[in-house]
Amino acid sequence: MNLDLLKRLCETPGIPGREERVRALIETEAKLLFDEIAVDAMGSLVCTRKGKGKNPEKIMLACHMDEIGFIVSHVTDKGFLHVQPLGGFDPRNLFSRRVLVCSETGDHKGVMNAEGKPIHIQSPEDRKKVPEPADFIIDTGHGAAAKDIFKIGDSVVMDEPFTEMGGKIVSKALDNRIACWLGLEAVRRMIDKGWSHDCELTVAFTVQEEIGLRGARTVAFAVKPDIGIGVDTTLCCDTPGVPEKDRTTVQGAGVGIHLKDGSFISDRGLVAEFEAIATAKEIPFQRTVLASGGQDGAALQQAASGARAIGIVVGTRYIHT
C-alpha cells in the first residue's frame, strides 16, 4: 500500500473552500493515471478515463477533498483568534487542541481552548456549561503581533500527525482523504493490472462537501453520470458505551456498502450488484445505514435528470474529532 501518499494527503491542510493545496497534491498523481484532467469553477478536480466502447456508460466517483476545520473571524488586540466552524464538531473534543493556522505568512501552530475561566476558579455553575464550537479561541503565542500575521478568513485545521498504531492508522482528515487516496490507488491498480473498461470513468475530487455537498453538485451537473458512487468515511462506533444497534460499522468486518443516510437512498439494484461482486471476489462487506448526515452520493443522484447512485464507505472511529 502507498501509505506515504495517504500520509501526505491527510497532513495537507484543506478546509472547505481552501482545498487548493490538497488539489495540487492529487493533480500531480492524477496526471499519470487519467486521460483528461480539469479544474471546474468551484475548484473540484475532475479526472476522466475514456472508455473502450461506443456510447459508453458514464460512471462517476466522488471523493471530497475538504476536511472539517475553522475560519478566523476576528483577531483581538491581544492576539487571540476567534473562529467559526466549517463542518460538524463536538465541542467536547476541542479543549486544549493543537491546531495549525494557515495564513499568507505561512502555517503557524496554535492552541485552541474555550473562552472563560480555568477549572481552578470555576463555580459549580460554570462547570455545567458546555461551550459551542464558536466559543473557542486560538492562542498562537504571538501576542499583539498576531494582528500583523493573521487575517479574517485564514483557515485552521487540527495539528495531528499521521501515525500507524497497532496495525491501524490515526490521523486528522481521514474524512475524506482516505477516499481521495482510494480514488487514485484504484485507478493505479487497474492500470498496473492491464484492466480495460468500456465505460467512461470520472473520478471527481470535490470541494465543500462538509458544508453541503456543494462541489459534487456542480461536477455532477457537468458530467451527467449514469451511475454515481460516493466514496467516503462513515461512523464506526464499535467502542465502549455505544449499543450494538448504533455501531453503524465494525472495524475488520469489511468495506461498507452504504444503503441510506439523511441525504439519499442507494439504488437497490446497485446494492445487489455490488454485494454479488464482493461475494464472488471474497471481499468482506457490511451494510451501513445512518439516520442523518449526508455524502456526495446524494449530489450525484440528484443532478440533471438524475442517476443511479450508491455509497461506498470506510468505517472510521472517532470521526469529526
In 3D space, the residue among 213, 184, 229, 200 whose CA is nearest the CA of residue 295 turns out to be: 213
Decide if pLDDT at 142 tops 90. yes
Residue length of the chain: 321
One-letter amino acid at 5 equals L
Decide if pLDDT at 287 tops 90. yes
What lies within 8 Å, CB to CB, of 185 at 6+ separation is 1, 2, 5
Decide if pLDDT at 294 tops 90. yes
Note the pLDDT tens digit of each residue in 60-109.
999 999 999 999 999 999 999 999 999 999 998 999 999 999 999 999 99
Decide if pLDDT at 112 tops 90. yes
The full set of domain ranges for the chain reads 3-67+173-316, 69-158
Categorize the per-residue pLDDT at 127 as very low, low, confident or very high, splitting at 50, 70 and 90.
confident
Residue 157 DSSP code: E
Are 3-67+173-316 and 69-158 in the same CATH fold?
no
Q: How far is 42 from 205, CA to CA, in rounded Å?
A: 11
Note the pLDDT tens digit of each residue in 150-190.
999 999 999 999 999 999 999 999 999 999 999 999 999 99
Q: How far is 85 from 66, CA to CA, in rounded Å?
A: 13
Average pLDDT, the chain: 96
Decide if pLDDT at 301 tops 80. yes
Categorize the per-residue pLDDT at 47 as very low, low, confident or very high, splitting at 50, 70 and 90.
very high
pTM listed for this prediction:
0.95
Please state the separation of Cα 234 from the chain's center in Å: 10
Q: What is the pLDDT of residue 118?
A: 86
Decide if pLDDT at 197 tops 90. yes
Does domain 3-67+173-316 sit in CATH 3.40.630.10? Answer: yes
Within 13 Å and on the Cβ side, how many CA atoms surround 162?
15
Pinpoint the alpha helices (H) of 20-87.
20-30
Pinpoint the alpha helices (H) of the chain.
3-11, 20-30, 124-128, 146-149, 174-193, 214-223, 268-280, 297-302
CATH code for 69-158?
A: 2.40.30.40
Q: What is the pLDDT of residue 60?
A: 98
Decide if pLDDT at 53 tops 80. no
Write out the catalytic residue numbers: 209
Q: What is the pLDDT of residue 245?
A: 94
Are the C-beta atoms of 98 and 115 separated by less than 8 Å? Answer: no
Q: What is the pLDDT of residue 126?
A: 83
Name the percent of the chain lying above pLDDT 90: 90
Q: What is the pLDDT of residue 321?
A: 87
Query: Can you give the C-alpha Rg of the chain in angstroms?
Result: 21
Please state the separation of Cα 286 from the chain's center in Å: 21
| Three cell numbers written together for 60 | 462517476
